[in-house]
């Protein structure tokens, strides 16, 4: 009887443990892309976002934010090639913002972020990073086979206006 009860308790414990696993996402529009970035932040695991070939009109900044113990996790954003997967800010929006210290305590380690095979076109930022802005205390950022064209920034009220392509 005790062994049966122990077995049932173990079975219940096994099925009630909430484990988060890294995911692989396949996105075909900016809304799916933002949703994948949000899930990648919340699951605190290694994630890959595959962005299909196409030109994406970005009307609001794609935002990835992590903090409080996200250290050591990997995020990979994989396009079909810089000339085939193009994120276009239309000259009016910052395209991608990666923030690995969203709580601004300076103590979070951002893990690894890799962006490969994506074009960033006509991004605009008031302040820094028209195409992409990366903010964080500690982050290993790898950009491979990407292109940044016609991205720009303007000085904000604090005197920031750096990195038209990437900052």
Taking 60 as the threshold, does the pLDDT of residue 166 lie above it?
yes
Average pLDDT over residues 78-103: 92
What is the pLDDT at residue 22? 76
Taking 50 as the threshold, does the pLDDT of residue 98 lie above it?
yes
Identify the H or E element spanning 16: helix 2-16
Say if residues 148 and 157 touch (Cβ distance below 8 Å).
Answer: no
Taking 90 as the threshold, does the pLDDT of residue 52 lie above it?
yes
- Would you list the domain boundaries of the chain? 22-154
Taking 70 as the threshold, does the pLDDT of residue 71 lie above it?
no
Query: How is residue 108 written in tokens?
Result: 């979070």
pLDDT per residue as tens digits for the range 122-163: 999 888 889 998 887 677 889 999 999 999 888 777 777 777
Taking 60 as the threshold, does the pLDDT of residue 115 lie above it?
yes
CA 55 from centroid of its chain's CA atoms:
18
Q: What percent of the chain has pLDDT over 90?
A: 51
Phi-psi region of 75 (alpha: psi -120 to 50; beta: other; left: phi over 0): beta
Mean pLDDT value across the chain: 83
Say if residues 37 and 63 touch (Cβ distance below 8 Å).
Answer: yes
What is the pLDDT at residue 3? 55
What is the pLDDT at residue 121? 98
CB < 8 Å & 24+ apart, contacts of 100-106: 100/66, 100/67, 100/70, 100/134, 100/135, 100/136, 100/137, 100/138, 100/139, 101/67, 101/135, 101/136, 101/137, 102/65, 102/66, 102/67, 103/67, 103/68, 105/67, 106/137
d(CA 9, CA 39): 31
CA angle 149–31–36, rounded 5-degree value: 95
Taking 60 as the threshold, does the pLDDT of residue 18 lie above it?
no
Taking 70 as the threshold, does the pLDDT of residue 16 lie above it?
no
């Amino acid at each position: 009887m005790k062994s049966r009860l122990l077995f049932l308790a173990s079975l219940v414990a096994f099925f009630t443990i909430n484990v988060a696993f890294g995911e692989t996402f396949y996105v075909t529009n900016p809304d799916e892309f933002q949703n994948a970035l949000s899930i990648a932040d919340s699951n605190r695991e290694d994630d890959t976002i595959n962005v299909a070939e196409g030109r994406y009109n970005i009307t609001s900044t794609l935002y990835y934010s992590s903090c409080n113990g996200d250290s050591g996790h990997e995020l990979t954003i994989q396009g079909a090639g810089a000339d085939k997967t193009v994120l276009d800010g239309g000259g009016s929006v910052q395209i991608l913002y990666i923030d690995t210290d969203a709580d601004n305590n300076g103590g979070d380690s951002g893990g690894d972020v890799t962006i490969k095979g994506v074009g960033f076109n006509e991004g605009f930022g008031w302040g820094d990073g028209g195409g992409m802005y990366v903010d964080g205390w500690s982050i290993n950022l790898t950009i491979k086979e990407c292109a940044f064209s016609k991205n720009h920034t303007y000085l904000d009220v604090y005197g920031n206006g750096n990195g038209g392509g990437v900052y």
